[in-house]
Structure 1
Amino acid sequence: MKNLLRPAIVLFIGLTLITGGIYPLLTTAIGKTLFSRQTEGTLIEKDGKVIGSVLIGQHFTEPKYFWGRPSATSPYPNNATASSGSNQGPLNPALVDAVKHRISALQQADPGNGLPVPIDLVTASASGLDPEISPAAARYQINRVARARNLPPARIGELVIQHTEGRQLAVLGEPRVNVLKLNLALDTLH
């Protein structure tokens, strides 16, 4: 028994040191050295104050701002400590009601908008924290934002184009617009 117990204990201690100490310290050091901005949360500062992160959606409700995807986190929208999806399937009546309510709210905020409502403006992402919307979702909101800011829609459309990011490595994902970055750019317009 002694011959079996000693190697097991040594292996347990060795693996604990490697996986619980050495590996986390090594990956943290590499991350902080090569990817310091990302390991700090990719934070955005304005006037020396942190106002958000590129990686976590923000809750905008004013008509003069672009709105992001609905958040499934509760009780507060875009709460990173409560990241999760709603886990409602497409046939769930609660999801159907929530989508109908969101479509109605979008149409009330911009009654003259005849464009189809993009799906990402009425459904939450899997994490409930999505910081980006599709270019179609941004285009859907251009007239409302332009009216609220008393600016030509073409100028707001240019800003959307400037802030549209392409696919990663030219093949991964879909084109997208970071809502926080776009809204910060809006605030710089005169």
Structure 2
Amino acid sequence: MKQTLRPAVTLFVLLTALTGLAYPLLTTGIGKLLFPAQVAGSLIVQDGRTVGSELIGQQFTEPRYFWGRPSATIPMPYNAAASGGTNLGPLNPALADAVHTRIAALKAADPGNTAPIPVDLVTASASGLDPHISPAAAQYQAARVARARQLAPAEVAALIGRHTEPPQWGLFGEARVNVLKLNLALDALKR
């Protein structure tokens, strides 16, 4: 029995040290050398204070800000510890109710806007943490933000254009706008 147990325990300890300690330390070290900002969480620091991450959405509800994609996380929106979608199917009445509530909120914030509402403003992403909206979703909100901030609509449209990111490496995904970065750029405008 000792002859069987000793190699098993030795292999267990060796593999635990290798895969549980050495490999994570090595990959983290390489990541910190090659991608220091990403390994640190892609944090956005302004005036010496961390205001958020490029990778996790934040809730904006004031008319003077662009609103992001809805979050399905609980107990609070954009809770990174509870990442995940709602898992509500397209025929689920709870999903339809949530979408109708979001549509009503968008219309209440900008009653004069008769443009079609982009789907990403009323449906949550699979992670519930998406920091981006489509350029169409940003343009849909541009008039409301311009009025609330007393800015020219063309100035807000230009800001959206400057903050529109192309598809990843020009191939993957769609053009997108990081809501936090766009709202920080709005706040940077001195008015």
TM-score by length of 1: 0.96
Equivalent positions of 1:106-185 (< 5 A) are 106-185=106-185
Any idea what SS the aligned residue of 1:151 has?
A: coil
Partner of 1:62: 62
Q: What's the RMSD between the two structures over aligned residues? A: 1.1
Instruction: Report whether the alignment pairs 1:40 with 2:30.
Output: no
Any idea what SS the aligned residue of 1:61 has?
A: coil
Any idea what SS the aligned residue of 2:52 has?
A: strand
The CA deviation string for residues 57-85 of structure 1, in whole angstroms up to 9 with x for no partner, is 01101101000011111221111112111
Of residues 69-78 and 90-99 in structure 1, the stretch that sits farther from structure 2 once superposed is 69-78
Structure 1 residue ranges, 4+ long, deviating more than 4 angstroms after superposition: none
Extract unaligned runs of 5+ from structure 2: none
Q: Distance in 2 between matches of 1:120 and 1:7?
A: 56
Q: Distance in 1 between matches of 2:167 and 2:155?
A: 24
Identity percentage over the alignment?
Answer: 66
TM-score by length of 2: 0.95
**Residues matched between the structures, number:** 190
Extract unaligned runs of 5+ from structure 1: none
Q: Distance in 2 between matches of 1:181 and 1:36?
A: 20
Any idea what SS the aligned residue of 1:55 has?
A: coil
Q: Distance in 2 between matches of 1:7 and 1:75?
A: 48
Aligned AA (2:37): R
Q: Distance in 2 between matches of 1:72 and 1:112?
A: 28
For residue 3 of structure 1, report the CA deviation from its aligned partner.
4.5
Any idea what SS the aligned residue of 1:87 has?
A: coil
Partner of 2:73: 73
The CA deviation string for residues 6-45 of structure 1, in whole angstroms up to 9 with x for no partner, is 3322222221111001001101111111111111111111
